[in-house]
């Protein structure tokens, strides 16, 4: 049995609709049947595509102020039906359930709502139920169903539809399912941590996104990944792409300069301080810190200076990375990971 499947029908439910346009253009070319509801349906129709309303499929309207739209056997049966299972095929026919080959969902922005300091009722209403259920159902049935679980995946989906003429391979669907469950896990972790408030958690549930590839891990043969918004933590002024070890050094340097109220400068190599100085000016602090061990510092070091400071007229050590701490209380912790065949480690120091 072939593992390549043509997409004949799609269910789309998206909070962010504008980025859907390239996908919709490809779906239109391929004459794929589209099911949708509410604002997503209106948007798709405005792009010139025919849409079958979910309410028409289920014979039920959207109820409870929009809390219940897609939660219906005629929707989930079409997503979860297994090809090659005679009983599944018979039940689809008996109950008039169409097969759904592609599920595209962009969840309510729960994380953004938290950052906006919304009311409790506003936050609760941004806990997506139908969307997350659609994602998990499609991901579970990845042998037959393709799932797209965030707007960041729209561009790659549009490319796939164009290059593979509307078909997906088993590998495409399996990878998409893995990404879908990652989306679900992160979403649930955010909700869990919000509802816990100050209560003792029964398990450690933290999630950091996006992921950024580092130059290498703890050793050159290892892969390093940073999770979180690196640019929100500090600004890299020069030097090569950062490695895992660079971030560990920078974390140590920043923790050192946070001990001082006045202008401070720290230079580290391989987690060891080569020099630290507190002076009236950044240039003097840098020069005196460099004087502590100029040989190590000029070989390969990571430097950190107080927030808002620059190095006017001061020569930078060759091959160095000069980092200005963006804040003493960043919005998210520094979280980096290094992976390899011999060693793996994860750190999440509060920088």
Is residue 201 situated within a structural domain? no
Same domain, 136 and 178: yes
Count up the domains in the chain and report the number: 2
Residues listed for the chain: 351
Statement to judge: residues 72 and 218 lie in one domain: no
Token digits for 174? 């399996």
Q: pLDDT value at position 185?
A: 87
The answer to whether the beta carbons of residues 340 and 231 sit under 8 Å apart is: no
Residue 273 covered by a domain: yes
**CATH number, domain with residue 77:** 3.40.50.1380
Last residue of a domain, one of 196, 219, 238: 196
Averaged confidence pLDDT in the chain: 79
- Between the alpha carbon of residue 72 and those of residues 21, 80, 101, 250, 277, the distances in Å are 27, 12, 17, 52, 66
**DSSP state for residue 316 in the 8-state scheme:** P
- Rounded CA separation 280/304 (Å): 16
- For position 167, what pLDDT does the model report? 92
Query: Which residues span the domain enclosing 155?
Result: 5-196
Domain endpoint, select from 166, 196, 226 = 196
Q: At what angle do helices 130-140 and 170-196 cross, to 10 degrees?
A: 140
pLDDT at 330 over 50: no
Q: Is residue 202 part of a domain?
A: no
Helix H or strand E encompassing 236: strand 234-236
Cα diameter, the chain: 82
140, 167, 196 — which closes off a domain? 196
> How many CB atoms neighbour CB 293 within 10 A?
17
With respect to residue 268, please indicate whether it lies within any of the assigned structural domains: yes
Using DSSP's 3-state secondary structure scheme, residue 35 falls into: strand
Q: Residue with structure tokens 């025919």?
A: 50
Whether 292 maps to a domain, the answer reads: yes
Q: Kindly report the number of other CB atoms within 10 A of residue 138's CB atom.
A: 29
Between residues 174 and 69, which one has the greater pLDDT? 174
Are 186 and 246 in a shared domain? no
The set of catalytic residues is: 140, 270
3-state per-residue secondary structure call for 277-288: EECCCHHHHHHH
The Cα 244–Cα 271 span in angstroms is 12
Percent of the chain with pLDDT over 70: 80
Looking at per-residue pLDDT, the higher value among 340 and 195 belongs to: 195
User: Are 173 and 83 contacting, i.e. CB atoms less than 8 angstroms apart?
Assistant: no
The separation between CA 72 and the C-alpha centre of its own chain, rounded to angstroms, equals 29
317 DSSP 8-state letter? P
239 assigned to some structural domain = yes
- Do 179 and 261 share a domain, yes or no? no
With respect to residue 206, please indicate whether it lies within any of the assigned structural domains: no
Q: Indicate if 154 and 299 belong to the same structural domain.
A: no
E-strand ranges in 125-257 read 146-148, 167-168, 211-213, 223-227, 234-236
Look up residue 272 and give its two tokens. Answer: 């060891």
Same domain, 239 and 311: yes
Q: Tell me, what's the pLDDT at 336?
A: 45
Same domain (yes/no): 309, 175? no
Domain match, 297 and 166 both: no
- In the structure, what pLDDT confidence band is assigned to residue 201 with cuts at 50, 70 and 90? low
Provide the pLDDT for residue 304.
55
67 in the same domain as 90:
yes
| Tens digits of residue pLDDT in 233-276 | 777 777 788 888 888 888 888 888 888 988 898 888 888 888 89
Q: How far apart are CA 52 and CA 11, in angstroms?
A: 9
Domain CATH for 225: 3.40.140.20
Cα(349)–Cα(347) distance, rounded to whole angstroms? 6
* Co-location of 11 and 118 in the same domain: yes
Task: Give φ, ψ of 254 to 5 degrees.
Answer: -65, -40
pLDDT of residue 116 exceeding 70, the answer is: yes
């Amino acid at each position: 049995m072939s593992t390549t499947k043509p997409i004949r029908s799609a269910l789309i439910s998206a909070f962010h609709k504008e980025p859907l346009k390239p996908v919709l253009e490809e779906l239109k070319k391929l004459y794929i049947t589209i099911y949708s509801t509410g604002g997503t349906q209106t948007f798709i129709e405005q792009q010139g595509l025919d849409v079958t309303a979910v309410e028409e499929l289920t014979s039920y309207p959207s109820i409870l102020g929009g809390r219940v739209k897609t939660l219906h056997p005629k929707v989930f049966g079409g997503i979860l039906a297994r090809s090659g299972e005679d009983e599944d095929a018979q039940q689809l026919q008996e109950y008039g359930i169409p097969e759904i080959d592609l599920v595209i969902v962009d969840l309510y922005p729960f994380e953004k709502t938290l950052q906006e300091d919304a009311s409790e009722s506003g936050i609760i209403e941004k806990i997506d139920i139908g969307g997350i259920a659609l994602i998990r159902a499609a991901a579970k049935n990845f042998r037959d169903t393709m799932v797209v679980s965030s707007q960041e995946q729209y561009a790659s989906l549009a490319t796939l539809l164009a290059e593979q003429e509307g078909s997906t391979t088993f590998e495409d669907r399996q990878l998409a399912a893995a990404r879908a469950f990652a989306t679900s896990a992160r979403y649930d972790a955010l909700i869990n941590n919000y509802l816990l408030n100050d209560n003792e958690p029964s398990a450690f549930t933290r999630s950091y996104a996006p992921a950024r590839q580092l130059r290498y891990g703890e050793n050159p043969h290892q892969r390093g990944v940073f999770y979180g918004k690196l640019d929100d933590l500090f600004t890299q002024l020069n030097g090569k792409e950062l490695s895992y070890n660079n971030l560990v050094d920078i974390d140590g340097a920043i923790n050192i300069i946070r001990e001082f109220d006045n202008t401070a400068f720290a230079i580290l190599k391989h987690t060891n301080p080569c020099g630290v100085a507190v002076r009236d000016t950044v240039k003097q602090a840098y020069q005196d810190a460099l004087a502590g061990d100029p040989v190590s510092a000029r070989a390969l070091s990571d430097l950190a200076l107080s927030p808002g400071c620059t190095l006017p007229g001061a020569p930078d050590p060759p091959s160095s990375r000069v980092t200005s701490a963006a804040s003493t209380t960043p919005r998210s912790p520094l979280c980096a990971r290094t992976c390899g065949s011999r060693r793996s480690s994860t750190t999440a120091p509060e920088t």
